[in-house]
Structure 1
């Protein structure tokens, strides 16, 4: 038994007449629709310079009339410290505590690798 879409209800019903087995539902031609045009709304796109204005200059949050909150002097000093070109990796620019944490992390990684190697050795070499 073949089925087709009812033109009245839009539901699947038994076919009232014999149809070809390859096409149980009559094909419906697609309607041509023009694709929508892309609109680039540049008012919501901003650059880093616009998002972080100069100290005396205040800009608005995109899409609102609310100005950005002022950035504290401590944060400005940290930005200058981390953006300074002094050939020091960024993970060490925080001072001596960053160096200690980096070395501790490297020591724990090496200890973990040694533990993995030891476990593989224990399971690979049988006891005598």
Structure 2
């Protein structure tokens, strides 16, 4: 099998219509490409200076910026405390009784689905008696 350079991607592709190697494509020497120059201290890459830096007591800064994280609403903070408690419950039941209902409903639907699959496989595998 012969190969040729693709005009679209510039990579080797199989060429089944060629009768002899390198026809109609001739080998081309590789071109040298210079690596791009790295530019430091541009407008997109600034460093934190003492004048723009906030004190550590004001909270954490977003990565790569001088902007502090927005404060969390109190409801989210309470939910975090609820889910981080060590009360030996799995995380999918820590939300309260409604989570328990959702868990049991999901398990029941999964069991019904598996039973439906088993029934379908059985009806297709075992022929009806005539």
Match of 1:127 in 2: 128
Q: How does 1:1-128 map to 2 (within 5 A)?
A: 57-128=58-129
Give ranges in structure 2 of 5+ residues lacking alignment: 1-25, 33-46, 48-56
C-alpha distance in 2, partners of 1:57/1:123? 67
Cα 1:80–1:57 change in 2 (3 A) is: farther
C-alpha distance in 1, partners of 2:106/2:75? 27
Bigger-Rg structure (1/2): 1
- CA-based RMSD: 3.2
Superposition misfits of 4+ residues, deviation over 3 angstroms: none
Deviations 1:10-41 (A, max 9, x none): xxxxxxxxxxxxxxx99x8xx9xxxxxxxxxx
Aligned-partner SS, 1:70: coil
Q: Note the C-alpha offset of 1:57.
A: 3.9
C-alpha distance in 2, partners of 1:72/1:57? 16
Normalized against structure 2, the TM-score is what? 0.55
Q: Note the C-alpha offset of 1:64.
A: 1.4
Give ranges in structure 1 of 5+ residues lacking alignment: 1-24, 32-42, 44-55
